[in-house]
Structure 1
Amino acid sequence: MRVTINKNISLPIYIQIINSIKEQILSGLLPPGFVLPPERKLAASNGVSRSTVIKAYDELKALGLVESHRGKGTVVTEKIEPHPPSKKQQVFPLSWHPLFDKKLGNVNDTISDLMNAGSRQDAVSFDAGICDPRLYPLHQLQAILKEYPLQSEMLGLCAVEGYYPLREELSRLMEERSLSVSPHEVMLLSGSMQGIDFAAHTFLSPGDAVIVEEPTFLQAIQRFRAAGAKIIGIPLDREGIRTDVLEAQLARYKPKFIYTIPTFHNPTGVVMSMRRRKELLDLAHKYQVPILEDDPYGEIHFTKHKYPPLKALDQHGYVIYISTFSKVLFTGFRAGWVIAPEPVMKKFVILKQITDLHVNTPGQFILSRFLREGYYEDHLHQQVTAFQQKRDLTVSALHKAEGLLTFDVPDGGIYIWCKFPENIPQRALLSLCAAKGVNYLPGNLFYPQESDGEHFLRLNYSYEIPDRIEKGISLLLEAVGELNSRNKSPNVKREYNPII
């Protein structure tokens, strides 16, 4: 066996020995069973130290090319041929469900199913909680981009808490909501839904209780259910959450937090009275339960009277406040924010860092300029005026129901919560409306127990144009009338509160 060694190159000698022997084994020059020279003999014949040869032999053993046999020496190993692949190897389908987290087993993709199933392209949409894209302030955005063209600093990373100039603008914006906070107390989110997600991550373990209004925001129910939480629903009336019912449940379940939408509630449109706001805070303080306040609709108000957020009334740091621009500016920007006590904010910052690091920098820059240039106030006024006109049009069209639908007229927000006759099955109405070309969200989706809310529906009036609103309501009432007549239930005067 000949080993090639060149002492004039930088490659270590033991590696040169390894490469030389390895090449001869793999090429077949050294067949299986060939006995390599003893370490001393190979070292002496090549003018190297025995330790160098030992090191090379050890590496060849680690590679599985040679092995040591007592009394025989170092021997080239037998070649192990892989089994030839089966011509008809059977591959079984992967069973995904046992691999999924069991907490997600009770969460249904309800929204996607409703939007995709049986929807016609020309259908009138009262279902999604989005606003009319024709009201987007495109001219102002184009003016900002023209004055401030994209630069490298706008495309890089920013602080996890968010772009500081935007946090300054949000601090000023919160003053209009009777809440005084510094920019350091504000953190940007990818929409207010991320704040709900962070709260679930921070506070909830499987089996923990969380209090919600009943009905409430569908995605909040889904998120808390995904955390394995026990969701306790507290009924609403026209003043908001029933605090008399709430206190008994606080004592019984000791929940991790109370989730509430106090201003233009989703889906009912209810505004929590000042009396109830104070009672809710008093109960939170008494039972030491934090409040997660979701405020996406607070600035969409059609009257001069404006209630302050719970966060503005809280003197003891119990309220975590989340809000968003999705309902008043641009849905696709996915920009929201949170204001929370320092210990909570630290947890949220960690979650933001490991989730998506920060909200996209160009979007934050544009929003910051939009607020700073004074565009926000003018746009908000125009949008609220348009929404009020759409609400009035929707209400006027619904009044033609001749008692088949009952509802309260909301003073703001983007939803109307309706009740239809109990002789009409929800599935039948949903199916018939889809066939006629109008979509809505069924009320049972907004209850922790989906068996509730069977005879309610939610209408979003902010998305469609006026002509299509009138067309859609006409189709909806037509469907309700047909099913009511088909089931031959006598029309009776209905004076119930549609919230309950």
Structure 2
Amino acid sequence: MRVTINREADTPVYVQIFEQVRRQILSGELLPGFRLPPERKLAESLGVNRTTVLNAYRELKAEGLVGSRVGNGTIVLAYPDEELNPGSISSQEPTWNQIFSQYANNFNSYMVKDLLALANRKDVISFATGIASPETGPIQILKGIEQELVEQENYKALLHTPTEGFTSLREAVCCLMHKRGVYCRYDEVMLLSGSQQGIDLAARIIIDPGDLVVVEEPTFFPAIQAFKTVGARVIGIPIDDKGMRIDIFEQLLQRYRPKLIYTIPTFQNPSGTEMELDRRKQLVELAYKYRVLIIEDDAYGDLCYEGHALPLLKSMDNDGYVIYLSTFSKIVYPGLRLGWIVAHKKVVKKFAAAKQIMDLHSNSLSQWIIERFITSGSFASHIHKVCAEYRARRDAMYNALSQYAPKDLLWNRPRGGYYIWCKLPEGVSASKLISKAAEHKVAFVPGSPFFTSGQGDDFIRLNFTFATFKDINEGIKRLCEAMKELIDHKDHDEIYADMEINPIV
């Protein structure tokens, strides 16, 4: 429905609305059963008083063009003066449950959507999002690159690129991979709209319904969701402070034949742990022995705050069993939505075919900007700067926990990545703490979504890269106060539960 207001005209505004809607009904532009916008909503969009719209709707009803009923709103009638009843409405809202596919009904995006919403709330200190700090991004450098591209009228930056990404960027990514110990060619590299797209594409092109996928437990919860959505059976292998328990994994391999292994061996999300070198070697050897593919998700490998990151699984693989994923979103800006895959050429070809259906190619301008960012040498210096900044933020959160934490709260000090992983005191659940923390205007991610088996309610994940130093200290103080309130309440209930109640005789 289209309505425009001419405030210079002598015709009253409500008459202008009435005449335009009337004309659209009589011409057939508005079909019988069409629901007119609510008076308040239309008034706000037109910048008029609600009474003005109400008067226009009254005139339409007086001519028998529309009718209204509680719960249905104002609806166009099929014929003038027709009585409005359920049977007379020729148009109804679709039966959504019957329309959406089984695939669509398998996924739930509310966790990610809610976390992103929290990150944008000014009144909440959020440790929930896995987002790079906006303060550490190389905004001036990227602005200069973008301005240069535009001033030179480089129209290529705004045109389509090959689905795999343009060649010079793929070659630049090869240079990054060489520094990580992986000697690949550009035709083994493909650009993605974030590494999370790589997980989704892998699920689509590798997994058939009923196939078994092995993941670490805990692990990145959108990966669990992606695999389950395509009908996979997902089994979790527990981790310890040395990464995935390879001994348990080998026992599983002897009993089953999984199709895929998904792992984050370096600064794992959510736990921040690293898979030790011997386990990395064993994992690749087992993949060869049992002929099972590995997805190595390396979103945080560059963010190493002490010493050096351990060798990649991909650097140990000569036969194409490891599919490597990484991203620029965690180390530059999340809004770039640019990641990459390194894999056997046959895998890249299948990924490209699936991606072409999904979004044709990743953002062209982002690709050009990142290509210049890498080849200019600015990317390497940026990583050095970011690591120094995030190391300080990690230490600030660790020290704040040391100062404010209640007794029996346990937490780690990861060598890199984004997260501190906490085990709550006995009797304190993340599901209760999340509500109590909300009262204190602080947010985190509970542990349960990261597990495949419904566990994890005694863990929470805290991000230290997004909040400012001031907010880190204040937010941890608030969070620990919320924990202590739950502990005090629990102790209070236990005291009364232990009291003997004597009835009055």
Superposition deviation, residue 322 in structure 1: 0.7
How far 1:148 moved relative to its partner? 3.3
Which of 417, 428, 432 lines up with 2:436 in the alignment?
Answer: 432
Match of 2:243 in 1: 240
Equivalent of 1:335 in 335, 338, 361: 338
Q: CA deviation at 1:203?
A: 1.1
Q: Deviations over 1:425-452 (max 9, x none)?
A: 3222100111111000000010112x20
Tell me which residue corresponds to 1:417: 421
SS in 1 for 2:305: coil
Q: Per chain length, whose mean CA-contact separation is higher, i.e. which structure has more relative contact order (CA < 8 Å, sep 6+)? A: 1
For residue 241 of structure 1, report the CA deviation from its aligned partner: 0.6
TM score, norm. by length of structure 1: 0.78
- Structure 1: where are the runs of 5+ without partners? 1-82, 492-500
Residues 118 and 435 of structure 1 are in contact (CA less than 8 Å); yes or no, is this contact kept in structure 2?
no
- 1:89-139 CA-to-partner distances (Å, cap 9, x unmatched) read 135442201222224434332232455589953111100100110111011
Structure 1 111/315 Cα, relative in aligned 2: closer, same or farther at 3 Å?
same
**Distance (Å, rounded) in 2 between the aligned partners of 1:104 and 1:144:** 40
Residue matched to 2:279: 276
Deviation at 1:155, TM superposition (A): 1.1
Q: Does 1:473 align with 2:476?
A: yes
Between the aligned partners of 2:488 and 2:127, the Cα distance in structure 1 is 24
Identity over aligned pairs, percent:
42
Q: Which residue of 1 aligns with 2:98?
A: 98
CA contact (8 A) 1:118 1:434 kept: no
1:135 and 2:136 matched: yes
Distance (Å, rounded) in 2 between the aligned partners of 1:237 and 1:261: 13
Aligned amino acid, residue 112 of structure 2: I
**How much has 1:205 moved relative to structure 2?**
1.7
Deviations 1:10-43 (A, max 9, x none): xxxxxxxxxxxxxxxxxxxxxxxxxxxxxxxxxx
**Cα distance in structure 1, aligned partners of 2:115 and 2:178:** 39
Quick one: structure 1 residues 110 and 143, their matched pair in 2 at CA, closer, same or farther if it must change by over 3 Å? Answer: closer
Normalised by the length of structure 2, the TM-score is 0.78
SS of the counterpart of 2:95?
A: coil
- How far is the alpha carbon of 1:467 from its aligned partner? 0.4
- 1:91-490 matched pairs, under 5 angstroms: 91-108=91-108, 109-113=110-114, 116=117, 121-149=122-150, 150-400=153-403, 401-449=405-453, 451-488=454-491
Deviates more, 1:89-98 or 1:308-317: 89-98
For 1:187, give the aligned amino acid: M
Q: 1:181/1:118 Cα in 2 relative to 1: closer, same or farther (>3 Å)?
A: closer
Task: Write the distance in 2 (CA, Å) between the matches of 1:170 and 1:342.
Answer: 15
- Equivalent-residue separation in structure 2 for 1:342 and 1:183 (angstroms): 10
* Map of 2:22 onto structure 1: none
Q: Is the 8 A contact 2:406 2:480 kept in 1?
A: no
Give the Cα–Cα distance (whole angstroms) in 1 for the partners of residues 461 and 236 of structure 2: 18
Aligned partner of residue 409 in structure 1, secondary structure = coil
Give the Å deviation of 1:147.
Answer: 3.4
CA spacing shift, 1:117–1:190, aligned 2, 3 Å: closer
Counterpart residue identity of residue 345, structure 2: E
Structure 2 unaligned blocks of 5 or more: 1-77, 495-505
Q: Give the CA RMSD over aligned residues.
A: 2.0
Residue 296 of structure 1 aligns with an amino acid whose one-letter code is A
- Say if 1:116 and 1:441 are closer, same or farther in 2 by CA, change over 3 A: same
CA distance 1:276–1:100, shift in 2 (3 Å): same
Q: Which residue of structure 2 aligns with residue 12 of structure 1? A: none
Kept after mapping to 2: 8 A contact 1:119/1:434: no
Aligned partners of 1:234 and 1:245 also within 8 Å: yes
Which range moved further: 86-95 or 369-378?
A: 86-95
Count the aligned residue pairs. 408
Query: Does the residue aligned with 1:462 lie in a helix, a strand or coil?
Result: coil
Mapped to 1, the partners of 2:220 and 2:266 lie a distance apart of 13
One-letter amino acid matched to 1:133: P
Counterpart secondary structure, 2:346:
helix
Q: 1:195 to 1:489 in 2, by over 3 A?
A: farther
Q: Offset at 1:276?
A: 0.4
Q: How far did residue 218 of structure 1 move?
A: 1.1
Q: Note closer, same or farther for the CA distance 1:314–1:489 as it changes in structure 2 (3 Å cut).
A: farther
